[in-house]
Amino acid sequence: MPDQTQLLPGTLDLLILKAVSLGPLHGYAVLLRIEQISSGALLIEQGALYPALFRLVRQGLLKAEWGISENNRRAKFYELTSLGRKRFRKETQDWNRLSSVMAAVLATQVEEL
């Protein structure tokens, strides 16, 4: 297993939005999807997922519906609402801008000043 990184505060919501944007998922699958796309580099305590999911539902970014999972168990499936899609696009842009700025700042060398 590669080194696992603690999440920055507020990034969990964005990760969930990203995971769900690829198709409706139930809670555990969201976790798996994040682990998969981050190649296991991000550490999320499993239970911590649910307060975040419910928060996003309350904000109207996700909607949820009970269904049957691939394991043939009852599970609640989450998908993006149109508001959620809009928010996801915006947050992605914001994140990219921030991370490129941060990267540039951190890459600055003495002689460049």
Binding site for another protein (CB under 8 A): 26-29, 45-55, 57-60, 69, 71, 73-76
Asked if 52 and 92 count as a contact pair (C-beta separation under 8 A), the reply is: no
Q: Minimal distance in Å, beta carbon 9 to another protein?
A: 15
Q: Minimal distance in Å, beta carbon 87 to another protein?
A: 14
Q: Minimal distance in Å, beta carbon 101 to another protein?
A: 30
Half-sphere exposure of 86 (CA within 13 A, CB side): 6
Q: What is the DSSP letter of 48?
A: G
Would you tell me how many other CB atoms lie within 10 Å of the CB of residue 16? 28
The nearer residue to another protein, 21 or 69, going by C-beta atoms, is 69
Short-list 62, 64, 66, CA closest to 85:
62
